[in-house]
Structure 1
């Protein structure tokens, strides 16, 4: 991913926090000579202190599952939020742009054992069911139904061999334009625009 230096984010706490908040990823590989992607939840886990990996699962009927034993490098793309930046908000310049955050992770895949897959699914359900009024746990699923579903999917873990970041948040704008962009994004009422505005404000306050 092309990223000018002033848009790069190298703080792991910031990057890992973003991955965890925006964990519905695009997993990409090369399948039969062409790019192939699947949208799926991918969770960042700390396997041991300081050692991180990504975990997820895919339907066996998905052709991409055939790539899991290929030894190739996979790409997981995490993105959102994003917002259009109108040039009418600038004092002088008249070229509009787009602000956004994206993280690209490159790594190798390993297929999970059934026990590891169950552990991964348990953590996934517990995380997203926590906000439910009536949370469902994996132990609530009838054994036969769970077994049938486990046979239909393949779990994987992915190493974090290379991470690329692009936190494009108007870092190159002067204080007047920067403040106006934040004002306009907040006024839009759009949740993604507001999230971009808050991230911009936090970084400018920190001198970034």
Structure 2
């Protein structure tokens, strides 16, 4: 991923926040000479600069037979930026753009199909997301019908070797432009726009 120096983020707490906001990632690997992508939720663990993702594929997914190099894309909020929102005198030369935050995590995948490890992933993922929607479904390992479902999935862990954080938030503009854009985003009433505005304000001097 091309990351201009102005937009490069180095604080890994920004990655923590992206994953906490949305752990549904895109996992890309090369299969038979062509890129193959799977979209799926993951469990995230960070200890200092060591980052690991864990999750599971459907056994029918060709990616469930692939270990080795992979790219995980963590998606953050994004928003269209109108050139009419810039108050500076150079506004006539401004063009539309897009502000966004995302991460690319490069590393190696290892696959596993041990029942206990698969059960832990299913239980942890479901508990997390059920709590967010007010549900009460839980994986129950003593139920045969739950355990048999594990035969249809393959687990993976991705040990991250390189992290790229791209937070493109008008950092290459004067401070006045950045505040004006954030205010315009806040006025649209759209949730993603408000999220981008918040990120901009966090990174813009008062």
TM-score scaled to structure 2, two decimals?
A: 0.90
- 1:135 maps to 136
Contact 1:80 1:192 in 2 (8 A): no
Instruction: Give unpaired runs (5+ residues) of structure 2.
Output: none
Runs of at least 4 residues of structure 1 off by over 6 A?
A: none
- Counterpart CA distance in 2 for 1:132 and 1:78 is 22
Deviation at 1:203, TM superposition (A): 1.2
Contact 1:19 1:103 in 2 (8 A): no
Q: 1:114 to 1:100 in 2, by over 3 A?
A: same
Identify the match of residue 81 of structure 1 among 77, 81, 84: 77
Contact 2:56 2:153 in 1 (8 A): yes
- Counterpart CA distance in 2 for 1:144 and 1:9 is 47
Contact 1:20 1:43 in 2 (8 A): no
RMSD: 1.8
The count of corresponding residues between Structure 1 and Structure 2 is: 201
Instruction: Give unpaired runs (5+ residues) of structure 1.
Output: none
- 2:150 maps to 150
Contact 1:53 1:160 in 2 (8 A): yes
Secondary structure at the aligned position of 2:137 is classed as: coil
Contact 2:58 2:154 in 1 (8 A): yes
**Could you report, residue by residue, the CA deviation over 1:83-139 in whole angstroms, capped at 9, with x for unpaired residues?**
000111123232110000110001111123221111111111111111343422212
Contact 1:43 1:55 in 2 (8 A): yes
TM-score scaled to structure 1, two decimals?
A: 0.90
